Amino acid sequence: MSVSKPVAVISRTEVLGSHDHEVSRRQDREVAHSAGDHLDAALAHLNRLSMMGELAASLAHEIITQPIATARNNAIAAMRFLDRTPPDLAEVREALECIVADADRAGDIIGRIRASEKGSLLFERPGDQ
């Protein structure tokens, strides 16, 4: 005599319910994965901003101050050249040209910092080395 094994009877509701549960779990995993990606991107952005803050402080101290201080010194020299009798206009012109170049240099530095904050690459001007 052989003993027959019981056959499991699964209703359509149980199959659909199991499928719905699996779909729900898959959607939960996708949402969690997407949220993780957004969190990673936010943390990377905060890290870049933190580094930019440190870089900006360093640049302000070392680089931006230099062209501004140099421009101030050239302006003082230009005023002294104007006070001469007769005024040394060639020297005044040279000092003014240096002031313009220093202001351009400071503006370029600030522009590169802003570009970097937006995720762009920093490009060196020809002659910057």
Please calculate the CA angle 96-102-105 and round it to the nearest 5 degrees: 145
Look at residue 125 and tell me if it is in a domain.
no
Look at residue 66 and tell me if it is in a domain.
yes
**What's the domain range around 26?**
12-117
Quick: pLDDT tens for 80-96: 999 999 999 999 999 99
pLDDT at position 6 is 62
Look at residue 128 and tell me if it is in a domain.
no
pTM attached to this predicted model:
0.48
Look at residue 62 and tell me if it is in a domain.
yes
pLDDT < 50 stretches in the chain? 122, 128-129
Quick: pLDDT tens for 38-47: 888 888 888 8
Look at residue 29 and tell me if it is in a domain.
yes
Phi-psi region of 113 (alpha: psi -120 to 50; beta: other; left: phi over 0): alpha
The helix-helix angle for 65-83 and 89-117 (nearest 10°) equals 170
Look at residue 111 and tell me if it is in a domain.
yes
Look at residue 69 and tell me if it is in a domain.
yes
Please count the structural domains in the chain: 1
Look at residue 102 and tell me if it is in a domain.
yes
**Percent of the chain topping pLDDT 90:** 25
